[in-house]
Amino acid sequence: MLEAVLLGFLFSLFLVFSGSYLRGRLAVLSSLIPLSLFIYFSTFISEIADGKVIYEIHEWVPSFGVNLSFTLDGLSLLFALMITGVGTMVFVYSSAYLKDHKYLDRFYGYLSLFMAAMLGLVLSDNLMSMFIFWELTSISSFYLIGFNNDKEDSRKSALIALGVTGIGGLMLLGGAILLGDVAGTYRISEMLSSREAIADSSHYVLILIFIFSAAFTKSAQFPFHFWLPEAMKAPTPVSTYLHSATMVKAGVYLLFRMTPVLNGAEIWHTVLIVVGGITMIYSAIHIIFRTDLKGILAYSTIAALGILVFLIGIGTQAALVAAAVFIVVHALYKASLFLITGIIDHETGTRDVTQLAGLRKVMLPVAIAGFIAALISGGVPPTLGFVGKDLIYESTLHFKDNAILLTIIALSTNVLLFYAGFVAGIKPFMGKLPKKFEKIRLPSPLMWVPPLIMTSAGLVFGLFPGLIETAVAKPIAMTQALQFEDFHLKLWHGFNPILALSATTLILGTVLYFVLKPKHSLEVTIAKLDPIAPKTLLINLSEGFAVFSKFWTNFFQTGYLRHYLFIVVSFLILLLGYLIFSDFSLSIDTSSLTELTIYEISILIMLLLGVLYTVFTKSRLAAVASLGVVGLSFSLLFLFYSAPDLAMTQFSVDTLTVILFVLVLYKLPKYLNLSDIRLRIKHGIISISFGVLITILILKVLSEPKNTEVTEFYAENAYKLAHGKNIVNVILVDFRGTDTMIEISVLIVAALGVFGLLKLKLKTKDKK
């Protein structure tokens, strides 16, 4: 499985050097990558259908429990097949759709990168590696959504998508860390044995918040849904791949994967049902206010994602099976509708459904694909959509609480999805062909064959639902750690309430389609609510944050070093002062102190005089010189206490510091006044306070028992291992030799930078 994941990354890398060979007619060869992966994963169908689960582990950072662990079970196999299957169609389609684009090879590179990241995400059995692949999907989708980066809308859409899903990624990281702490492992399969411990943990609610946030942002749940319609600025193949089959379903996948681990409390079900229910009905209502085909598909996608979250929240076997089947249904018809929309846009130059009609006369195969896709979307028998819709009603009707309310919500959403499918899949092809479209010709088969294949699959699976039952429904039901009850998917269940609900959906949807016509006036009406829309509120919040950031930056980043020191030292004084006055005790053993000698008293007096002269002198040069006296006094103290090497170091540093100060003063304006008496008093108070606190802390440290383990180690091994008698030198040169070398390198770089600044002679125009 690792090789399968790496293949996409390697192909992206290959395109960097050889991408020019895969432009033009040879571009379609790129589809061999997802096709080969689809065939590879297809070979596991029979094994997984028999209940087998395949594990694969590659050590990465074993000391932290972070490894490349992969699992292939019913759930991951479904997503792997969907990613590679729909991916193959998108790769083929793109070779014709973007045939003349000069960056087609770059597009395939981004697409391959995204495909590999998605495969890694759905196959990961380790939450940490899943987080990495999760973030890679956000980054690669950022490049894909903003592919037309010469357009401001594309750049803005890409940033919004990255911002929202990026926050979700951080939430996933938080949830993974907490789960790993509670369960003692990052492997999801091993967390199943800690299910009760996780549910009883004090972090359980916080874990749910993190996981929900990650899933809701990625899968565009209310109120984070707005990034998905915005992302429709991307090229149509991107919309097809990311928003119908892969990226937006990553959040759904996460919820599915974590259901056996986290669904131990009522809050899990309640939150998912409420959020999913709001999302599905809210987005479905938005459909009737849209005239842009991609806009209609975007909101119907959000509604479908809401249905999936809603079903996972219900959590019964019937609901989870319904969700699994609906994932397949949605991928087939939504990917097809996106590709068909791309064909229409490519050939007519518009996606405005109010201007489109009669296209069946010039694009009959596309019209057939659109017609079948609409039937699947509406749940019309004998398509797979009908099977999926029945399963949804079965789940809501048999739910223990509020069954009628949940069924009404599901019915309303399905009616509106029926309407959306017919508007996008049928309306552009019906009626009289406008004169401006009469010269349109059928595009390359590379564009219309992929949607025809996918819609045909939806029809075949509907006629033979046993294929989905064996390959998808039952294997996924087994992954959910349920008390598995055998079931069979059928096209016909006889006359019962579920059939009545399906019939009601078809009747109401048909009536709605013929009565309610897409109008720009409706779009204008809904636009009046934009000021209170979640997107507007979030943008206002981000703008407010930008204003606050500007104020914060201007307040702290003044450009004066003394200001930065004042802030840092003041903050430390507050922290240390709080510690001292809240919980602090100090006892000094005066008997252990030695009496001061005349030499020490003399050095101390010299040091104090140096400090006082540095503070009160009006001459900068004299201040620097007296500062040197302070440093030399410390050197003498070190010398008296038998530390000649330390004294030498102090002496060298102080001498160098004085020289550097003099050089800097030489370059400064002669009479520049940078401080006044009030500022000096303020800095004096801060300095004295900080000095007192540091003194107290040193006394506190001296009064505490000492751990001499490290000292003993160096004393014992300095000569044995490094053949040096001076422990300090051995530590600097041998035990921490790399650190010392890097520190010296930093100093050299800094010195070169300072030297360059001192020698810099800008021209007058450059200074401006």
Partners of 57 in beta bridges = 69
Is residue 748 situated within a structural domain? yes
The distance from CA 538 to its chain's CA centroid, rounded to whole angstroms, is 18
pLDDT > 70? residue 613: yes
pLDDT > 70? residue 118: yes
Residues 6+ apart with CB under 8 A from 596: 604
- Model pLDDT, residue 644: 84
Is residue 539 situated within a structural domain? yes
- Model pLDDT, residue 767: 56
Residue 721: domain span: 716-767
pLDDT > 80? residue 356: yes
Segment (H or E) for 55 = strand 54-61
Question: Which of 234-238, 503-507, 675-679 shows the lowest per-residue confidence on average (mean pLDDT)?
Answer: 675-679
pLDDT > 70? residue 168: yes
Q: Render pLDDT for 303-347 as a digit per residue (tens, 0 to 9).
A: 999 999 999 999 888 888 899 889 988 888 889 999 999 999 999
Q: Render pLDDT for 396-411 as a digit per residue (tens, 0 to 9).
A: 988 887 889 999 999 9
How many helices (H) and strands (E) would you count in the chain?
A: 34, 2
Q: How far apart are CA 489 and CA 389, in angstroms?
A: 12
Let me know if 641 is exposed, middle or buried by CB neighbors in 10 A (0-12, 13-18, 19+): exposed
Characterize 205-243 residue by residue with b for buried, 16 or more Cβ atoms within 10 angstroms of its Cβ, and e for exposed: eebbebbbbbbbbbbbbbebbbbbbbbbbbbbbbbbbbb
- Model pLDDT, residue 547: 93
- Model pLDDT, residue 483: 64
pLDDT > 70? residue 755: yes
Q: Mean pLDDT across the stretch 746-768?
A: 75
**557, 581, 602 - which closes a domain:** 557
pLDDT > 60? residue 509: yes
Is residue 568 situated within a structural domain? no
**557, 584, 603 - which closes a domain:** 557
- Model pLDDT, residue 531: 82
Is residue 685 situated within a structural domain? no
The distance from CA 349 to its chain's CA centroid, rounded to whole angstroms, is 34
pLDDT > 80? residue 490: no
Q: Render pLDDT for 511-550 as a digit per residue (tens, 0 to 9).
A: 999 998 888 888 888 888 888 888 888 888 888 998 999 9
| Long-range pairs, 494-499, Cβ under 8 A, ≥24 | 497/393, 497/397, 498/390, 498/393, 498/394, 498/397, 499/390
Distances (CA, A) of 106 to 73, 94, 158, 160, 214: 33, 12, 17, 22, 29
Q: Render pLDDT for 183-230 as a digit per residue (tens, 0 to 9).
A: 989 999 888 888 888 888 899 999 999 999 999 999 888 888 888 888
Residue 73 phi, psi dihedral angles, 5° rounding: -130, -165
**538, 557, 576 - which closes a domain:** 557
Q: Mean pLDDT across the stretch 252-268?
A: 89
Q: Render pLDDT for 9-37 as a digit per residue (tens, 0 to 9).
A: 898 888 877 777 777 778 888 899 999 99
pLDDT band at 484 (very low <50, low <70, confident <90, very high): low
| Pick from 457, 451, 461: nearest CA to 368 | 451
Q: Render pLDDT for 29-70 as a digit per residue (tens, 0 to 9).
A: 889 999 999 999 999 999 898 888 899 988 888 888 888 889
Is residue 694 situated within a structural domain? no
pLDDT > 60? residue 768: no
- Model pLDDT, residue 217: 92
Is residue 262 situated within a structural domain? no
Q: Mean pLDDT across the stretch 647-676?
A: 79
Q: How far apart are CA 224 and CA 538, in angstroms?
A: 9
Q: Mean pLDDT across the stretch 119-148?
A: 92
Is residue 534 situated within a structural domain? yes
Is residue 303 situated within a structural domain? no
**pLDDT, mean over the chain:** 87
Q: Render pLDDT for 451-464 as a digit per residue (tens, 0 to 9).
A: 999 999 988 988 88
CB 251 within 8 A of CB 168: yes
- Domain count along the chain: 2
H-type alpha helices, 224-360 = 227-230, 236-240, 250-262, 266-287, 293-314, 317-348
